[in-house]
Amino acid sequence: MCSESECGVYIHTNTTDEFICINGNHNHSVNHDQLETKLLRDKMKERILSETTPITKIYDEEIAKVNLSKGAAAILPTVIEYRSNMSKARRKNTPVIPSGVAFDIPEFYEQTLSCQRFLFMDLFMKRGQDRILVFSSDQQLQLLFDSEIIFMN
């Protein structure tokens, strides 16, 4: 991976990452600070797209894990700049909010992260004009049933 955005040199590999060929002459030195920030940003982006943790929390956690050089810290985007770009990327992965009641619920939302049931009830009412969705884990239900007092509104 080259840290220069204007570098037009490409390395071609096969599906097992074996070198095939290179086009052009790669003749500039490595910018370690840019490479360090790119790796950190890629790691944060991977977490942002795969988790529902707030972006600012992911940013803070990942910054705390690494020991950035002064140069890398200087070119790293601020949390506000990064959050703006990553919010757009996260929205592309988030399903669109349906306008009607007839829609499929992706399996990802039917289970907890530990693959336990989370969609407790999916019931259509009044000839498909209304729908009741109840989400709960078995642990949450057990806590509810074991409670002596239940507050509702």
* Residue 83 binned pLDDT confidence (cut-offs 50, 70, 90): confident
Closest of 41, 37, 31 to residue 68, by C-alpha: 37
Place of tokens 């399996």: 107
The pTM (predicted TM-score) of the whole model is: 0.56
Give DSSP secondary structure letters for 20-62: EEEES---S---HHHHHHHHHHHHHHHHHHH--S-HHHHHHHH
Q: Are 35 and 3 in contact (CB under 8 A)?
A: yes
Closest of 85, 81, 84, 45 to residue 62, by C-alpha: 45
pLDDT tens, residue by residue, 129-146? 889 999 999 999 999 999
Q: 128 pLDDT exceeds 80?
A: no
Least confident window among 28-32, 63-67, 119-123, 133-137: 28-32
* Residue 73 binned pLDDT confidence (cut-offs 50, 70, 90): confident
Ranges of each domain in the chain: 30-93, 107-146
pLDDT tens, residue by residue, 9-43? 778 888 888 888 888 777 777 778 888 888 999 99
